[in-house]
Amino acid sequence: MTGPIGTGLLVAGLLGGCAPGAGPSAGREDSPPGSAPPAASAPGPSGTEGSGTEGSGTEGSGTGAPAGPPSDAGSPTAPAERPRPPELDDPASLSVVVNKRRPLVPPDWAPPVLEDVEGHRLRPEAAAAARGMLAEARADGVPLRIVSGYRSWAQQQETYAGWVARKGQAAADDVSARPGHSEHQTGLALDVGEGGGCDLQVCFADTAAAAWVAEHGPEHGFVVRYPWGEEAVTGYWYEPWHLRYLGPGPAQELVRSGAATLEEFAGLSPAPDYGTGAAG
């Protein structure tokens, strides 16, 4: 979706699903240091080396926005910036957008309530939905399981530091979020798998579990957050296992919109990196 979207739609929900496919390589955002990071030379879907198409929109605007009122000289003014719903910035909201250029505020924010789901913690809304999703998948013969859920600022710092120690900061930033920038810290994100050798690897895209969550996850409020070929927008390589909870209505609405990423749907700028001056 390229044009502006209404405030009500943004508040309602903010994420796009992605049908699984073969990815460029293994490992991405918040994968444990034991997983292999993506190969920088792996070709993307267009044949380019490991990158998607750079977005050109500016935050809070979209193509097709009407010009502003005429100036005194008779020439139209620049389009007025569309107000950004506060829910996009509120870590307590189901609509919050967290990426490399949109940290949590405060950076060590934590959900006030978390519930256990098979050994992993999530916010109550996401936990209830995850239980239903797991039960339905298993009833369909799919061995879906949770691999990772909520991580605190300190836990994310440990995860990120492990990647930096092994691969250096530049490579770490391709596969792991810096603390304060991870969706896992919101309690609304989870990584799923099926207990095989492809958990937290791009080959998970070829499993029955990945196909099931891509098709049925939105019915339970979950969508694939980091689709194929969108790393220039999301900042991370393809992760068919990383799901974000929005709520059933919002998740399905976003999928119907045709937006490839949360950023596109929300009218926000791409977040391929942390920008200049970001702490690391």
91, 186 Cβ separation under 8 angstroms: yes
- The residue among 10, 14, 12 whose CA lies nearest residue 261 is 14
What value does the CA radius of gyration of the chain take, rounded to a whole number of Å?
A: 19
Q: Can you say whether the dihedral through the CA atoms of 39, 44, 49, 55 is positive or negative?
A: negative
Q: Which member of 115, 230, 239, 263 is catalytic?
A: 239
118 in catalytic set: no
Angstrom distance (rounded) from CA 10 to CA 278: 27
Angstrom distance (rounded) from CA 128 to CA 111: 15
Q: Where are the alpha helices (DSSP H) in the chain?
A: 7-12, 124-139, 153-167, 169-175, 208-216, 231-234, 248-257, 262-266
Angstrom distance (rounded) from CA 224 to CA 13: 13
115, 122 Cβ separation under 8 angstroms: yes
- Residues with catalytic roles: 239
